Amino acid sequence: MATDTTTTDVDIAVVGGGIGGLTLALALRERGIDAEVFEQADELREVGAAVALAANGTRILERLGLGDELAAASVVPTELQYRHWRSGTVLAGHPIGAEYARRFGGPFWGIHRASLQRTLSTAWGPERLHLGWCLTGIADGPDGVRLEFGGDRTVRARVVVGADGVRSAVRGYIGGGAPVYSGTSGFRGIVPTGALPSLPAPRAVQFWVGPGAHLLHYAVGETVNFLAVLDGPAEWPHAAGLGEAGPGELDAAFAQWHPAVREMVAAVPQSPRWGLFVLPPPPRWSRGRAVLLGDAAHAMLPHHGQGANQTIEDATVLARCLADTGPQGYGTAFGRYERLRRARTRAVQRAAWDTSAALHLPDGPDAAARDERLRALDGWLGWIHGHDADAAADALTDARR
Ligand SMILES: Cc1cc2nc3c(=O)[nH]c(=O)nc-3n(C[C@H](O)[C@H](O)[C@H](O)COP(=O)(O)OP(=O)(O)OC[C@H]3O[C@@H](n4cnc5c(N)ncnc54)[C@H](O)[C@@H]3O)c2cc1C
C-alpha cells in the first residue's frame, strides 16, 4: 500500500475477509489486479460449523487452483435425499458423485468452514490481508473513496467492495433496506456419526421434512453437521441474529419425529437459536466507487445451501468485469456486474424463501405435489447448481467489445 502521513492509497479495497472477500481477492489476482483486504476481526475465525458447496461454487474454486486442497478436506455426499419426517421414507433421492459432477460441472462438497477459510486465506497470504481493520466511515471524493477504520487509519481507494456481510457498513453507504426476519429460526450442531445408530445413509445430504419444521444434515469427516429449522418465533426479539431458546425446546420440537432425528438433536447441547434473516435487494448495487458483494447484497435463507455459493459466483463475475475495464472503468464494470448478478441472486433468494414453507408442509396433497417436484432434480435444483457464472460473464463482456 502507498502511504503518506495520514492516508494510504490503494486501487481496490475489499472490506470483509469472509468467503466472498477472499474469493474476490484471489479472482482479481488471477486476472492480474491487486487488492487489499480489510477485515474487522483480529484473526479469521468462522462461526457456524460447516458449509455445503455445490457445483456452481466448486467449479469456480477449482478454477482458482484450490480444488485439490479443498477436495482433500471435504466429504462428497453419496446422495441428496428428502425423507418423511416420521416414517423416514425416501420421498426423493438423487445420487451425488461422479454423475453429479459431470452433469453440473463441479463436485459437491461438505466442508468445515474453518477449512474453507484457511484454504482461502493461505492462498491469499498475509501481506494484503489487514486484520483488525473495522470500517467505520466512508465518503466519496474526486480522487477516490475515503475509508475510515478508526483511530487515524484512513484509506483512499479507487474502488471499494463491500463484502462485509449481512450487517454491511458499505451497504449503509450505498443504500438498501435492513435485514428482514423470515419468521423461522434454526439450531445447529455437529454429532459424531457413531452416536446416530438409527440414521440411514449417514453420508447422504438429507432433508427430513415435516409439519412446521425440517432438519438438514450432511457428513463432514466422521461427524454429521445439522441445521434444524422451526417455524417461529413470530417476532425476533433480539438485536442480532443469535438469540436464546428455552431449555429443551429443540428436543421438544422434534419429539414425534423419526428416531434418527431425535438422536441427532439430543446428541449435542442445545445451540443458541439463529434467527433466519434475508436482505432484500437494494435499489442499486453500487454508488460511485463502492459496490456490494455476497451477503451484503443479497443475504438469503439457507434452504438451498446457496449463500456462500452465490457469493463465490459474485466474486468471479466482479473480478471478470473489473479486469475487463480496469479499475478506472469501475462505472462500466459495476453496471455489467449488477446486470449479470441481480436477477440470478434474486431468483435463488426467492426460491430459498419459498422452499422454507414447502419443506414445512403437513402431510396431504400439497406435500405430495411438493414431493413430485423434489423428484425432478433438474427442475428443482439443476438451474442453480448447473449455472456457469464465468461463462455468463464472458458472454456479456465479449458481446460488448
Ligand atoms: C445457518 C446457516 C447455514 C448456512 N449454510 C450454508 C451452506 O450450506 N451453503 C452455502 O452456500 N451458504 C450457507 N450459508 C450462507 C453463508 O454462510 C453466507 O452466505 C456466506 O458466508 C456469505 O459470505 P460473505 O463473505 O458475503 O459474508 P460473511 O461470511 O458474513 O463475511 C463478512 C466478513 O466481513 C467482516 N466485516 C463485517 N463488517 C465489517 C467492517 N465494518 N469492517 C471490516 N470487516 C467487516 C466480517 O467480520 C466477516 O469476516 C448459511 C448461513 C446460515 C446462517
pLDDT for position 2: 63
- Cβ of 308 less than 6 Å from ligand 1: yes
Q: What is the pLDDT of residue 26?
A: 98
Give the mutation target among 295, 304, 310, 353 for probing the ligand 1 site: most ligand atoms within 8 A of CB: 295
* 371 in contact with ligand 1, CB cutoff 6 A: no
Distance 19 CA to ligand 1 centre (A): 7
Residue 53 pLDDT exceeds 90: yes
Peptide bond into 365 cis (omega under 30): no
Cell numbers given for 213: 419444521
**Mean pLDDT, rounded, of the chain:** 93
Of the ranges 252-256, 338-342, 374-378, which one carries the lowest mean pLDDT score?
Answer: 374-378
- Residue 2 φ then ψ, to 5°: -80, 135
Nearest partner of 310 among 118, 163, 110, 113, judged by Cα? 163
Kindly indicate the confidence band of residue 245, based on its pLDDT and cuts at 50, 70 and 90.
Answer: confident
Q: Are 224 and 218 in contact (CB under 8 A)?
A: yes
Confidence of residue 5 (pLDDT cuts 50, 70, 90): very low
User: Helices 330-359 and 307-325: crossing angle, nearest 10°?
Assistant: 170
pLDDT for residue 270? 85
Helix 19-30 and helix 55-63, axial crossing angle in degrees, nearest 10: 40
337 is catalytic: no
Which residue do the cell numbers 491487486 mark? 34
pLDDT given at position 242: 84
CA of 135 to the centre of ligand 1 (A): 16
Cβ of 11 closer than 6 Å to ligand 1, yes or no, is no
Q: According to the model, what pLDDT value does residue 243 have?
A: 86
Cβ of 311 closer than 6 Å to ligand 1, yes or no, is yes
Q: List, for residues 357-386, the tens digit of each pLDDT value.
A: 999 999 999 999 999 999 987 777 899 999
The domains of the chain, with CATH numbers, are: 2-76+110-178+279-357+382-399 (3.50.50.60)
Mean predicted confidence (pLDDT) in 59-79: 96
pLDDT at position 315 over 70 = yes
Least confident of 43-47, 96-100, 278-282: 43-47
pLDDT at 48: 60
Residue nearest to atom 51 of ligand 1 (CA): 302
| Residue 400 predicted with pLDDT over 70 | no
Separation of CA 18 and ligand 1 centre (Å): 6
Q: What is the CA(387)–ligand 1 centre distance, in A?
A: 21
* The three grid cell numbers given for residue 254, joined into one nine-digit string: 422434534
